[in-house]
Amino acid sequence: MLDIHSNMQEHDELKIKEEPEGNRKRPRITATPPKLIVSAGPNTLSGSTGGHRRLWVKDRSTAWWDSCNHPDFPEAEFRKAFRMSRSTFDMICEQLSSVVAKEDTMLRAAIPVQQRVAVCIWRLATGEPLRLVSKKFGLGISTCHKLVLEVCSAIKTVLMPKYLQWSSAEALDNVKENFEKISGIPNVVGSMYTTHIPIIAPKISVSAYFNRRHTERNQKTSYSITVQGVVDHKGVFTDCCIGWPGSMSDDQILAKSALYQRANGGLLKDVWIAGTTGYRLTDWVLVPYTQQHLTWTQHAFNEKIHEVQRVSKEAFTRLKGRWTCLRKRTEVKLQDLPAVLGACCVLHNICEMRNEEMDSELRFELFDDEMIAPSSLIRSTSSVQARDNIAHNLLHHGLAGTSFQ
């Protein structure tokens, strides 16, 4: 028998029919036809009779998903597949139901909400290609792709306003208090970091997405888009800026973000967001000292602000650990990626807020661009004195490893 099963859908059965011995020339290969479903209706296809509509439907197995969806399916296995508990998954389905649910038609039953959401979350969690998603859930490849985009859009519309938003004034007081416990630095309301998401080379503006530093490090041509995020002390995103090309620096991305515009409008008056050396010092962005010869006070300050920065970097580590699609070049088109990446950030927040533990096997070391300091390190001269005062107070109050006698 000629084995070409690997080049066809898993459920296709191939049979070789041979002609009689005297007329034998070569095997003739035929495929088992798909099922023919005949349903009553006023319209008929060409050649049909009796007022029936004919619809060819390929027979696909849903055994894996049926098993996952069964109440007796082990909770540990469910969590491993979908990166969350069944109760969190059910909550997400319930909140998205009004947007993603479809009605049955005369030709076929609608795909249930649970299965629609599961297709999306499993795809984000594993980063597996759509052909494997299709086999797991017993749906067509194009259907799976459509479901991923529809559910990501629903997450953006329904869940993002609830689970990814700037903290209220009361909540910010709690954030400041906890960051001060971590570092001793007062009035910090967020920790900021920018990561890169690998993409296939786009057809337009390809040079803008070229990631030179990733290319040099990996010895392989790399393209990326960026995700800039601000997190609170728990590693929950309170602001995200998604989709700028990978050739842009952290500071350039920040300058184009809505957060920057809101800060200029007074949203971040008298508070700090801790950033890396990829950002410039401003009245609201607090960054480490970068000169070559640091004083003890400056060195001690850098150690403390690194404690705040670590919160955002670890949050991005968990984000990419849970949602493996963020570490692979995806089949999603460039214009659809922001919605997908935004959905990952929202799902991250839901998992963090509900204390969903992440499997230790999913943890990995976050490799991103080395932070390149902007050509001009300072946007505001008043911020220089403010940072010096913070550094002095840390040392004076014994919060930087020593104290005055």
Q: What is the pLDDT of residues 234-270, one digit of tens each?
A: 999 999 999 999 999 999 999 999 999 999 999 999 9
Note the pLDDT tens digit of each residue in 5-16.
233 333 333 333
For residues 183 and 178, give the distance between their C-alpha atoms in angstroms, rounded to a whole number: 9
pLDDT at 43: 44
Residue 303 tokens read as 């150690």
pLDDT at 214: 82
For residues 240 and 236, give the distance between their C-alpha atoms in angstroms, rounded to a whole number: 11
Region of 203 please: left (phi>0), alpha (psi -120 to 50) or beta: alpha
For residues 219 and 198, give the distance between their C-alpha atoms in angstroms, rounded to a whole number: 15
- Residue whose pair of structure tokens reads 């001060």 in the numeric block: 180
pLDDT at 66: 95
- Residue whose pair of structure tokens reads 């519309």 in the numeric block: 157
CA distances from 362 to 237, 279, 355, 366 (A): 20, 30, 16, 12
pLDDT at 362: 87
pLDDT at 217: 79
Ordered structural domains, the chain, with CATH: 62-162 (1.10.472), 165-327+364-397 (no CATH)
pLDDT at 272: 97
φ, ψ of residue 15 to 5 degrees: the values are -125, 140
For residues 286 and 386, give the distance between their C-alpha atoms in angstroms, rounded to a whole number: 9
Q: For the chain, how long is the longest CA-to-CA vector?
A: 108
Q: 52-57 and 35-40: which strand pairing?
A: antiparallel
Its pTM stands at: 0.83
For residues 179 and 306, give the distance between their C-alpha atoms in angstroms, rounded to a whole number: 12
pLDDT at 400: 54
For residues 361 and 344, give the distance between their C-alpha atoms in angstroms, rounded to a whole number: 19
- The stretches in the chain having pLDDT less than 70 are 1-59, 368-378, 397-405
Cβ count within 10 A of residue 127: 15
Counting every residue, how long is the chain?
405
For residues 338 and 225, give the distance between their C-alpha atoms in angstroms, rounded to a whole number: 9
Residue closest to 200 by CA, chosen among 209, 192, 208 = 209
For residues 172 and 259, give the distance between their C-alpha atoms in angstroms, rounded to a whole number: 16
Residues near 26 by beta carbon (within 8 Å), at least 6 away in sequence: none
φ, ψ of residue 51 to 5 degrees: the values are 70, 25
Q: Are 287 and 276 in contact (CB under 8 A)?
A: yes
Q: Are 256 and 226 in contact (CB under 8 A)?
A: no
CA distances from 341 to 28, 125, 326 (A): 48, 12, 8
Note the pLDDT tens digit of each residue in 348-384.
999 999 999 998 888 888 876 655 666 566 677 889 9
Residue 90 tokens read as 């059910």
